[in-house]
Copies of this chain bind each other. A is one copy, B any other.
Amino acid sequence: MSTAEQPPGAALRSREHTREKLIDAAFEVFAEVGLNAASVEQITERAGFTRGAFYSNFDSKVELFFAIADDKYTRASEGLQSGVDAILAEALPAGHPITADALETIVTRVLGLTVVDSKLALFESEFEALALRDRDIATRYAGHLREVVAGLAGLLEGALARIGVRFLLPAEQATRLLITAYTAAMKTHLLSGGGDQPSVADLADVAALALVLTERMPER
């Protein structure tokens, strides 16, 4: 009835809006009480919807876990791409081969884009523990991680090529190692009571790894 009166696309946008609000509310509830303890009722109540709204968007709580993981990855990836674009546009040495110092500066600046999200770290730790206990979730979770690596590998390889640098290892392998080091550094930062913005020292392992994993391309 009321949907019949909406302009074309409005129903779809409203549905998308509901889905986003459920994702945001669930992320907060999960951070507060953990994935297992969080109920569909708590999540829908926080978002201001009914159980019906939940089940018209997600088949189960597990579907919601994956929707959150996808949402967080998409936002992080878009933020990283635009940040890297801005840094390279400014730092790119015009026509000259990049120096080791310039590369180090760029790596430090890219890592400076980082914002720590303790709720996200917690979500990932618990999601991982859940996947380790459930074969079906594990398979899907592994697939999600492969997509994240492939996406970031493309982004990083493209950015390096623009400054005449390449990975010493296959791009996906190097990216997997960088993500792993980055995740560990964030956890160490959080465990030591760090705030939203990690320091250069917090990310020293990742910066050192990035430099060990790359080399300047031979000049043509």
Tell whether, in the assembled complex, residue B169 and residue A212 are in contact, meaning their CB atoms are under 8 Å apart: yes
A46 in the interface, Cβ–Cβ < 8 Å?
A: no
A82 to chain B, nearest CB (A): 27
Pick out which of these stretches binds chain B: A105-113, A120-128, A155-163: A120-128
A36: chain B residues at CB < 8 Å are: 34
A139 to B121 Cα, complex, angstroms: 17
The prevalent SS among residues of A at the interface is helix
Tell whether, in the assembled complex, residue B209 and residue A177 are in contact, meaning their CB atoms are under 8 Å apart: yes
Contact check: which of B142, B190, B212 meets A192 at CB < 8 Å? B142
Tell whether, in the assembled complex, residue A133 and residue B142 are in contact, meaning their CB atoms are under 8 Å apart: no
A199: chain B residues at CB < 8 Å are: none
A118: chain B residues at CB < 8 Å are: 132
Tell whether, in the assembled complex, residue B177 and residue A142 are in contact, meaning their CB atoms are under 8 Å apart: no
Q: Chain A, interface size: which category?
A: 35 or more
Contact check: which of B142, B169, B193, B208 meets A173 at CB < 8 Å? B208
A205: chain B residues at CB < 8 Å are: 173, 176-177
A133: chain B residues at CB < 8 Å are: 122
Interface residues in A182-220 by Cβ distance below 8 A to B read 183-184, 187-188, 190-193, 204-205, 208-209, 212-213
A188: chain B residues at CB < 8 Å are: 142, 145
A12 in the interface, Cβ–Cβ < 8 Å?
A: no
A1: chain B residues at CB < 8 Å are: none
Q: List 7 A-B contacts (CB under 8 A).
A: A125-B129, A132-B190, A139-B193, A142-B191, A169-B212, A173-B204, A177-B208
